[in-house]
Structure 1
Amino acid sequence: MTNRILWVLMALVAIVGGVFALANPFAASIAATVIAAWMFIIMGAIQVFAGFRAQGTGAKIWSILLGLLSVVLGIMILGKPLQGMVALTTVVAAMFLAGGVFKAILSFSLADKRFFWMVLLSGIASIVLGVMIFANFPLSAATSLGILLGVELLFDGVSALALAFSSDGEEA
């Protein structure tokens, strides 16, 4: 099986997953929340393990405490996924707002550069997304994560498909 075929298969899986996520954004939001919870648990467990191997008492204590906090957070989200979904949506909306403000500010330092408008528009789009999520909160919590997951999967699929049919697709 060539690399090109693997890229096409990956693209099709991502596109189909994106379509399913957009067709049922609530289920996709729950799935994204559960996946995030498991990532908190796994990363926290690894951090606790790394903490026991860390040099120095302070580093060891902080690493273990932060790892345990991550594990507890993941367990809490798994225990109450709807509340976890609301919390994650709040964090995502806040990240959109903060990232948008910083990108907009950064764009003005690039005023004499070629990409000024792209950075500014990206910042404005992030701000608008954050405001849209907060403006329709808590209803937006039920679908926002699923829609974002669906869009991400569609874009990943399209880019993988483009790579598969590019001249670099065989080497990639």
Structure 2
Amino acid sequence: MAHIYSEKMEMGHLYGADAIKAHWYWYVASGVLLVLLGLASIVFPFAASIAGNYAIGAILVVAGVIQMVHGVQTRKWKFAGLSLVGGILAIVAGALLLGFPLVGVVTLTSVITAFLLVSGVFKIIYAFKLKPEPGYKWLAVSGVLAVLLALLVLSEWPQAAVWLLGLLIGFDLLFTGAWLITLALNARRADRA
């Protein structure tokens, strides 16, 4: 029993600082990619908004087809009908986003604004719980900016919805990427010390 306990302890430890130290380069690569995507979204906010709309629309259509296939394959299951209905709804929602991209962008902007507001608050809370760990300030900045951008969208609604979606995504990606880079480089420095 002690052997199992020690394995669990090691596994729990692996997913913390040791995992970051062992795979710091993946954190840096992810961070750099997020920073680049964020900058592209900030420079081309309308394109990022439309691209985001099309991507989500396509994902919904594919997810709807998968859900419908699942419903057909499990038709004897008592909830198969719900799977079919859910699949149809996902396909319809995806088709609407693909067919009416500007309406989709406005709708997605409202959903993402709510997400940024809530996730920003949680990032701020998490950053203060991480304090004084390296990189906590980047996470706090990401949270504060997410909240401020959500409030900006609400104050300019609906005129800014078309281009602001890409801008919101861009800033969030930029600062989250910076946080990942800082986290990884600090873990690497600590490992070398």
Call closer, same or farther: CA 1:5–1:96 in 2, change over 3 Å. Answer: closer
2:103 maps to 1:79: no
- Report 1:43-82 matches (<5 A): 43-54=63-74, 58-82=78-102
Call closer, same or farther: CA 1:66–1:74 in 2, change over 3 Å. Answer: same
Identity of paired residues, percent? 29
Code of the residue aligned with 1:153 in structure 2: it is L
Separation (CA, whole Å) in 1 of partners of 2:184 and 2:82: 45
Residues 24 and 187 in structure 2, CA contact (< 8 A), matched pair in contact too: no
Separation (CA, whole Å) in 1 of partners of 2:175 and 2:149: 17
TM-score by length of 2: 0.62
| Partner in structure 1 of residue 54 of structure 2 | 34
How far the C-alpha of 1:9 sits from its partner, in A, is: 2.6
SS in 2 for 1:28: helix
How far the C-alpha of 1:138 sits from its partner, in A, is: 2.2
2:28 maps to 1:20: no
| Partner in structure 1 of residue 166 of structure 2 | 146
Call closer, same or farther: CA 1:95–1:164 in 2, change over 3 Å. Answer: closer
Please list every run of 5 or more consecutive structure 2 residues that lacks an aligned counterpart in the other structure.
Answer: 1-21, 130-142
Code of the residue aligned with 1:43 in structure 2: it is A
SS in 2 for 1:139: coil
TM-score by length of 1: 0.69
Residues 33 and 88 in structure 1, CA contact (< 8 A), matched pair in contact too: yes
CA distances 1:16-65 after superposition (whole Å, capped 9, x unpaired): 11111111211111111111112211222222222234475651111111
Separation (CA, whole Å) in 2 of partners of 1:33 and 1:4: 32
Code of the residue aligned with 2:175 in structure 1: it is F
Please, what is the CA RMSD of the aligned residues? 3.4
- Among residues 22, 26, 36, which one is paired with 1:6 in the alignment? 26
CA distances 1:57-78 after superposition (whole Å, capped 9, x unpaired): 6511111111111111111111
Residues 32 and 149 in structure 1, CA contact (< 8 A), matched pair in contact too: no
Residues 149 and 168 in structure 2, CA contact (< 8 A), matched pair in contact too: no
Separation (CA, whole Å) in 2 of partners of 1:96 and 1:59: 33
How far the C-alpha of 1:94 sits from its partner, in A, is: 5.0
Separation (CA, whole Å) in 1 of partners of 2:78 and 2:93: 22
Code of the residue aligned with 1:90 in structure 2: it is S
Separation (CA, whole Å) in 2 of partners of 1:146 and 1:39: 18
CA distances 1:63-97 after superposition (whole Å, capped 9, x unpaired): 11111111111111111111111121233345567
Which is worse superposed, 69-78 or 134-143? 134-143
Code of the residue aligned with 2:35 in structure 1: it is I
Larger Rg, first or second structure (1 or 2): 2
Corresponding residue pairs, total: 150
Please list every run of 5 or more consecutive structure 1 residues that lacks an aligned counterpart in the other structure.
Answer: 108-113, 116-121
